[in-house]
Amino acid sequence: MTCKKTAYFFLLIAMVVLVRHRVYGGETDSLQTALQSATSDSVKGLIYLQLAKRASLAEPVKGFEYLNKGLDLGASVGRIVRAELQMELGNYQRLTGDYSNAIKNILAALAIFEDRKHTYANNAEKINVRRKTANCYNNLAIAYFISGKSDEAEQMLKKALALYEQLNDDSNVSTVLNNIGELYQKRGNPKTAEEYYKKAYNIALSQNDLHLQSVLMNNFGDTNYNLGKYSRAIYFQGRALRMANDLKDVEGISYSYLALAKAYHKLFNYDSALYCGQRGLTLAKENKINYLIKDGLFILKDIHFSEGDFEKAMRYADSVIFLMDTIYTQDKNKLINQSQLQYELGRQQSQIELLEKESIINNQKLVNAELNKNIVYTILAAVIIIASMLFYYWRERQIQNDKLSYKNQVLDAKNKELKMLNDTKDKLFSIISHDLRAPLSALKNVLDLVDFNLLSPSDFTQLATDVRKNLKNILYTLNNLLEWSYSQIKTGDTINPEVNDLKEIIQETIFFYEEVARQKEIDIIANISDKALAKADKNHLRFVLRNLLNNAIKFSYPRSEVLIEAVTLPDNRVEIAVKDKGAGIEDTVKEQLFSPSVRSAKGTAGEQGTGLGLLLCKDFIEKNGGEISVDSEVGKGTTFKIILWHQ
């Protein structure tokens, strides 16, 4: 989630800063009074530490001054207090952008906390030091992460994770797991990132941490997007959006809308992509969330390019450039303020010496200032000219590349669409010309024989049985054809997911096919847990189970058995398996089993199908955020597996 996740990474620090700022004014006076009456260096060191913590970002220059005074007291303040002073100094330096010195001071504090030769007064003190050690690891990880050292950040995060786990600090454990997932996501390893996200999500569920759950839903969506699973990405981002709405998390709502826009764009659903992109961008602008404004402008630019509306696309591209200029100016002002802060600290520390040489230094400052000003103006003018030329060249190249990329994408999409339409046409003609026409023609011939009294009673009885069987096949084929046609026409229809009792639905499905199984002397065995639940559209689930059970009976040998199982998986999902001991599927057929062009084989008793059933099964399962797979061996049987969310 880019900046959103980084912001979450620093949430704890931000909360501490806020609290310190509120209490700073009220408690500082009493601490100053206590400092004047303190007689031992250890007490003074503690007071300086508290004064620095209360100053925080409210008066950072004062904070630095308190910390340096505490450290100037030397070893007499005590090893633990000295370590805390160094760790706090490192945090101050990190916040002002001095990452090198920040890492140096936090490492010095860590060396003291990790000193195994030290003996503790009691177990409570030992636990407190271990917690501070974990905090050091976490703070180091933040400094490494921001300064671009992801390997070092990962090492520190894993050390912090191990200590938090030993301390049973679940809240920090889930946060660190999420941050490790972030590192792997940035390295382009979404599968490993997803493993850490799942661990963090299970803890967040147990802790009822709704905000972290919302962030992790976004993470799951981003992971699936990076893996090219855009439908699943939409499913997770939709859940994140609902959670963010419940929490009134404006940043989370805006991020989720923009993530949905990217996924819809990949699926060529431009209307939904535009709607979500505009909603996300509007919220980001209303709340001045710069990084989301930038993302939203980029996304809407890409969508309009894909639609061929180049004028709107260029307007959004120009808005991105203007926003980046604004952010650059703000960042430049921050750097100036940080430089001013460092200068102020140095000035205070050397004030006495500067007073003794005031006249000489002032003259030198005037000369240096004039010289520096000329140098800065010259360099700045050169940088602006070069940057303008480079930017103009880059922008022209980018526009040409975007146009070429868009044309290639349109061609690829059209080719895929034409192939799918051709496969669909062939499938429909095959069904109408063979699967429906042939049995109906046979039925007409039988009726003609009846009209001319050319059938004996025994012949009529035999033919009536065959006709009934053909009519059943025709009805089954028509049902699948109608379901399939409806799904093609209603591509934008909404689903109604609900938590279903699998035992109830599977027993209902078995009852529906008991007579068909009995005719082939096939036993249907169900092994369903009482607590097996699945979140999905009920009608979709019924259709899928009926098709899979019908296929299992159709391709099973007479006097065999079909097994239906449902087990709950440990990662909040459920697996449904339909197994038969029938003819099996060849590998070449299995690879195209869910394709519109596949042709259904005849069953062991000559039953005929269309192949549409499995195509619909895959479509319905994926619309409900699940997966479907097949495992088969020729002559030994076939197993279809469905994985859905438990709730």
Beta strands at 561-569 and 573-580: parallel, antiparallel or unpaired: antiparallel
633 beta partners: 637
3-state secondary structure (DSSP) of residue 191: helix
What digits encode the pLDDT tens for the residues 73-98?
Answer: 888 888 888 888 888 888 777 766 67
How far, in Å, are 42, 52, 281 from residue 67 at the CA level?
Answer: 13, 6, 43
448 beta partners: none
What was the pLDDT predicted at 3? 45
Q: How far apart are CA 39 and CA 42, in angstroms?
A: 9
What was the pLDDT predicted at 10? 38
CB 99 within 8 A of CB 143: yes
How far, in Å, are 224, 273, 291, 608 from residue 280 at the CA level?
Answer: 20, 11, 12, 50
Going from N- to C-terminal start, the domains of the chain cover 355-427, 494-645
501: enclosing H helix or E strand? strand 497-501
DSSP 8-state code for residue 557:
P
Residues of the chain short of pLDDT 50, as ranges, are 1-24, 328-343, 345-346, 348-356, 434, 491-492
The CATH-assigned architecture of domain 494-645 is 2-Layer Sandwich (3.30)
What was the pLDDT predicted at 579? 95
Q: How many CB atoms lie within 10 A of CB 558?
A: 11
Among 80, 30, 84, CA closest to 67: 84
Q: How far apart are CA 306 and CA 314, in angstroms?
A: 12
What was the pLDDT predicted at 580? 93
Handedness of CA 424, 430, 435, 436 (dihedral sign): positive
What was the pLDDT predicted at 257? 94
What was the pLDDT predicted at 562? 95
Tell me the whole-structure pTM to 2 decimals: 0.41
Calculate ∠ Cα 199-573-543, nearest 5°: 155
What was the pLDDT predicted at 8? 39
- The residues near 344 (Cβ < 8 Å, ≥ 6 apart) are 61
Amino acid at 216: L
640 beta partners: 578, 630
Beta strands at 523-528 and 497-501: parallel, antiparallel or unpaired: unpaired
Q: Residue 252, Cα to own-chain centre: how many angstroms?
A: 12
